[in-house]
């Protein structure tokens, strides 16, 4: 059965002491609010992954990387490999975020290489896809989403649904305060699950978590999580404050005990 994943993408925010403070406070919260149907996850910057893991060790929370190199190892200054993340016991990694696509020219083909490196190392990729405002207004959302899925997963074998996570993040909703309506989000999530079913079969499609991202916050997360195919949130801005992050974890716990999602 799918859990609810409440994932905080910290982007290039928080220094060493802010990371420690947040993780200590999160740890205190999680000691009192453990729920096996909810997986909180934070993605700090590379230099503080170990520090966050150390503080949160043995607590029910995942510490993820925000990116990975498409190369296995070697002369690639500034890059971090999947094997290196694996040696740190990092179990999740975001790839294909729209900021990487937009500011670093990442293509579906490159994201596919990153996905392969992660799978080779037993790390769960959180693969981000989503349309721009222009593409939505041109009525091309479905075409763009399918083409991103086909590009990122071209000839990729998925043995089980717990090996990957997909995040649907409409680019026009990221960091803009504009959220897709729950209906708009559910429609695309259903499209993605349908594609997964055709590509990987019913069991994998039923097991794969599909997160929604784009200005998710305590005020709108409930309605999104109530949608049949939305299995959590990939959250930027609202994940940076401990109070709002914990509020969203709390709402997910409530919904999961009420049999929601």
Structure tokens at 7: 């994932």
State the binding string over 55-74 for ligand PEP (x if CB under 6 A, else -): --------------------
Contact call for residues 40 and 24 (beta carbons, < 8 A): no
CA-CA distance, 17 to 22, in Å (whole number)? 9
State the binding string over 210-249 for ligand PEP (x if CB under 6 A, else -): ---xxxx-----------------xxxxx-----------
Strand 124-129 to strand 4-9: parallel, antiparallel, or no bridges (unpaired)? unpaired
Number of Cα atoms under 13 Å in the Cβ half of residue 131: 21
**4, 5, 8, 9: residue in contact with ligand PEP (rule CB under 6 A):** 9
- When asked if residue 169 is in the footprint of ligand PEP (CB under 6 A), the reply is yes
User: Which CB atom, from 26 or from 204, has the smaller least distance to ligand PEP?
Assistant: 26
Contact call for residues 244 and 218 (beta carbons, < 8 A): yes
Catalytic pick from 99, 106, 131, 169?
169
- When asked if residue 174 is in the footprint of ligand PEP (CB under 6 A), the reply is yes
Which range touches ligand PEP (CB under 6 A), out of 52-60, 74-82, 207-215, 223-231? 207-215
User: Which CB atom, from 161 or from 236, has the smaller least distance to ligand PEP?
Assistant: 236
Active site residue 92: no
Active site residue 226: no
User: Which CB atom, from 19 or from 200, has the smaller least distance to ligand PEP?
Assistant: 19
DSSP 117-178: HHHHTT-EEEEEE---HHHHHTT-HHHHHHHHHHHHTTT---SSGGG-EEEE--GGGTTSSP
User: Which CB atom, from 9 or from 135, has the smaller least distance to ligand PEP?
Assistant: 9
- When asked if residue 130 is in the footprint of ligand PEP (CB under 6 A), the reply is no
CA torsion angle 42 65 67 96 (round to 10)? -40
**Burial of 54: CB neighbours in 10 Å, binned 0-12, 13-18, 19+:** exposed
- When asked if residue 44 is in the footprint of ligand PEP (CB under 6 A), the reply is no
What residues act catalytically? 97, 169
List residues near ligand PEP by CB under 6 A.
9, 11, 169, 174-175, 213-216, 234-238
């Amino acid at each position: 059965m799918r859990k609810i994943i409440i994932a905080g993408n910290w982007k290039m925010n928080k220094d060493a002491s802010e990371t420690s403070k947040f993780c200590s406070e999160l740890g205190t919260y999680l000691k009192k609010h453990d729920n096996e149907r909810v997986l909180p996850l934070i993605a700090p910057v590379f230099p503080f992954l170990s520090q966050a893991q150390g503080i949160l060790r043995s607590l029910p929370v995942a510490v993820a990387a925000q990116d990975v190199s498409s190369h296995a190892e070697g002369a690639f200054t500034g890059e971090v490999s999947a094997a290196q993340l694996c040696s740190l016991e990092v179990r999740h990694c975001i790839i294909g975020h729209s900021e990487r696509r937009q500011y670093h020219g990442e293509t579906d083909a490159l994201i596919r290489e990153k996905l392969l490196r992660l799978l080779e190392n037993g790390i769960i990729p959180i693969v981000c896809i989503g349309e721009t405002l222009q593409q939505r207004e041109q009525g091309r959302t479905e075409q763009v989403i399918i083409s991103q899925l086909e590009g990122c997963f071209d000839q990729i074998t998925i043995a089980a649904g717990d090996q990957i996570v997909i995040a649907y993040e409409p680019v026009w909703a990221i960091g803009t305060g504009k959220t897709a309506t729950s209906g708009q989000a559910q429609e695309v999530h259903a499209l993605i699950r349908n594609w997964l079913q055709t590509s990987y079969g019913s069991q994998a499609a039923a097991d794969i978590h599909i997160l929604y991202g784009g200005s998710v916050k305590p005020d709108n997360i409930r309605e999104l999580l109530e949608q049949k195919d939305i299995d959590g949130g990939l959250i930027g801005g609202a994940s940076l404050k401990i109070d709002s992050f914990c509020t969203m974890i709390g709402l997910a716990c409530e919904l999961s005990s009420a049999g929601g999602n």
